[in-house]
Every structure is written in C-alpha cells, then in structure tokens.
A and B are shown apart, each in its own frame.
Chain A
C-alpha cells in the first residue's frame, strides 16, 4: 500500500464516518420521534367513506364492467 492509497483510504474512511453521523443525525431529528400509528382500523378510517347516499341522477352511470 503506497502513500496515495493510504491517503485515499483515510479520506474515504472519514467520509464514511461523517456520513454515518449525518444519517444518524437526520434520523435523530426527523425520524426517531415520528410515530405514525397505522393499522387496519386507522387505514379503514383513512380510506373509508360513509354509506353511499342516493346519488344525484346526473352522477349515476353504468358501473364499470368487470
């Protein structure tokens, strides 16, 4: 291993450490405390709609043919 390789390895090593620290910091500040509890019930509430009322006749169309 020559001088240049040692220098490059050192630089890449420093970059990797800084990167791991940066990603950890991003996780710490923006992800760690974020809890978005999503389960079957919350998804049903999120997606669901109340029972279909009688539609305005102008909205009635032929259901898509399966």
Chain B
C-alpha cells in the first residue's frame, strides 16, 4: 500500500500535493460521521507535499515515506502545532518541540495531515474518555473504534490517511486495530523513543504504527525506531529495514497457543472461532502449533491496573496549572487564591473522570502502608509474568491468541463501569507488562446484529525479534 503510493509518486503518476488534497477531500467527506481527527494541518501538509514534489521533479531519490500522508495520535508533539492528548487541560497548548518520532518522520519527508482523537491521556479503550469527541467505528457507527488510539485506527480504516501512529500502554494500538480491521504493531519496549510522547505510564508506553498491511507496519516501524539521547530507556537495536525481511515463509516456525487465554467465559464465541481458524491456517502454512502455559490474562490485568495508575499518578503531577496547560489562574489574578488553590482547583476543573480515578488509585497504592501490599506485590507479579514469557519463548518463536475478547462494543455500553472497560485490555496488557513486541492483524469478521465486525488476531514475539513477528503476520496476511 505505502509502496504502491511511493511508486506512483516516483513514476510521477500522481503528485504528493494531489495525493494529500485527495486525502483532505476524503476527510471532508467522511469525518462528520467518523470524527477521527482533533485537528487538521492543511497548509502545513500541502507545503510539505509540494516540497517532496520538487525533489521528485529534480530527480532526487526519495524514501518510502516521502510525500505519503499520515495521521498522528494527538499525544505526540509536532513543533508549533496544538497537542491536546484528548484533555481539556492541554486545550490551546502548542508543542514547543518535535517528538523524536516526528523528527525522524520529518527527515523521511513524511506529510502530516492532522492529529487524531484518543481517550484522555490515552486512558481508555474506546475514545469515549476523550474530552472532545467520541470517534465512531466505520464498520458500524453505533460502535466504538476501540482505544485509546481509536482516532488513528478509524482514520486508517476509513482511508482518511495512508498510515497512522498510535501509542500502546496496555493495548491502545492493538485493540483499536482489531476493532477497526487494521494492522497495529506495538514494538518491543525501548525500540521507539518516547521523547515527545505525552507520558501515561512510562514503563509500558510505546509508540507504533497503525496501517493497512503488515508490510506498511514494517516500513513505518523501521523508520521511527532507534536509540535516542532524550530517552534513556531507548536501545540501539534497529538498524535495518524490516520490510526487506518478509519472506512469508513460516514453515517449521513454532507458534505457541496459551490455553489460559481460551478459558473462562469472557471470550466471545465469534472471536474464538476466528482465532481457532487462524491456528488451522498456520498449520496449513507449515507452522508447528505448540501448547504453552502463561499466567491468565486476569493476573496480567490486575498487575497492570496497579502499576499503571501508580505511574499515572506520578506523571500527571505536572498538570498543576503552573507551568503550562489550562489553569484557573488564567485571567483570575485579582482573587485571594494561594498556590495550593491553583493546584486543587485547576486539576479538579480540567482533568477528566477517568484520569482522576487513575491518579487516585495510584496515589492510594503508593501511599504509606499500602506500598508493599499493592505496588511492590504488582512489581513481583510483573517479574513472574516476564519469567513465564521467557519460559514459553524457550519453546516457541511466536505466541498466538485473540487481541480483544469481543469485537467492537456499542458506544455507551461500558462507560458506567470502569472495571468492565478495563477487561477490554485482558489479552493485550501482558505484552506491555513483559515489554515484548505484539501485533494485531485482521483475521476475519464476526456477524453481530446484522453487521460484519472485524476481529483481530494477536501475535506476540520475543524481545527485539520484530523480524520473526512481522514475517509471521505477513505470512498470514498474504495467504
């Protein structure tokens, strides 16, 4: 898909300017129904597109992403443009620098059409926690696109951009990819710099591509990864273009299936069927299917919903109404407030319900007397889960399972019960806890209420082995 567009540009069948304005036309037509974007940067995008066209006309060589229009989740900073993170607290905030992924994409001459909707600070699984709008699923507009990168997934699914960037803390790339019928890759923790990504839970957060094909995911991933001096957790292990290593051959590849992921009654029958069919398909392709044992998703989720709010409570401390963001201090200089009032009232007014809920949960779990019971215990279970993955990966190359327990749910269906919403992450959170790479690829449709809803298959890989993971996904996609 990206390669096709690239060839059209290079062969001068179309200009980047034309391609970019075609996407803006598509956005104009579809956006009223989908509401995937929080802001558009038409002039900025067209300027860049024309610059790429000049390069092509001058006979300069261009990279695969040059002149290709993309959408960026609105929790990544693009210098000079608004970045809201889906929160009122950052309304009117203008990013004063580029995130490292943006810097890298700018070097590739990428075109940014706009910024996409998300749950506030990426906290949610449906975009319903966005302070601005709820994005709709293109397959059934009464349903959510998933989240938190729901805007990015919906924009790709509705062909309002060629590819998008999302971020994944507990499933925020893969779950919306599953709901929208797109590909979503969460790389190994540390491969993509988090500098300029508005932090949610720093030991889990990872940026990755949402695309139409696995090859596209490989193309984008290869160009955003790398060691960065601004992110001390980044590692220098990506030095190749992964799209060049997609043979589509999975003969004798060992694919593990954790039985624990199919127990209990949370897994929708339609999703189960599609995952089982996928296993058969891999067998036909020559892969070896092997049973493995992993801690059940509930352990992972319980671990995740302690550590993540703890990190959230710390990361959200910066929204204090003092240095940036919305503040009740604005235009309120004549009253008798003291500093503490600014903190309490700004945070009360501009942070959303889910954000406050997680800040309080984390504050509680980290408070004196509860630290050992909750945070330390969760860190131990995190180590346990990591060990179990290490054991499993002694036996297999890739682990296969569902991405999400159900297809896209209805707007409003889970908003009154936070815990039920959290269960949407049950199969995706383990990869964040262990830091391993994982991808969701379209595996079929489940028919619900007369509508065909996409279902994603999740593949999890060994640490830093995106090559095997992407190839395994590619083999499924092309067969």
Do A and B interact?
no
Q: Which residues of B contact A (CB under 8 A)?
A: none
Q: Which residues of A contact B (CB under 8 A)?
A: none
